[in-house]
Amino acid sequence: QVQLVESGGGLVQDGGSLRLSCAASPNHFEFRTMAWYRQAPGKQRELVAAAFGGGIVQYADSVKGRFTISRVSANGTVNLQMNSLKPEDTGVYYCNAVRVGMNAWGKGTLVTVSS
């Protein structure tokens, strides 16, 4: 089994930036997809950004132009650069990694954007 560990969350003011990181342990698995999801208080978990093989990426409409997902390697390291943060970006951010026979989740890191 693999563990995903997120880091980089915290408190930031409206318009600020944060960089989230996710690392897999052990790191010898190759993942087809790595993604970031978030869950705001009282809301369902939603996809924020995903990185597929071949450099293909996908973003939620609400974060396009502000967030950038990047895979450092195929074996379980992914970052999320978040710029121009808004209060509505507040939530717990979860890392997700998928490969055949495996769908792994991290425990989440809290991002709070104050107005």
pLDDT of residue 76: 77
Structure-token pair, residue 58 = 């996908």
29: exposed, middle or buried (Cβ count in 10 Å: 0-12, 13-18, 19+): middle
Q: How many CB atoms lie within 10 A of CB 52?
A: 15
Give me the tens of pLDDT residue by residue for the chain, a chain 115 residues long.
899 999 999 999 999 999 999 999 888 788 899 999 999 999 999 999 999 988 899 999 999 999 999 998 766 799 999 999 999 999 999 999 999 999 999 999 999 999 9
Which of 92, 74, 90, 81 is CA-nearest to residue 14? 90
The pLDDT of residue 43 is: 96
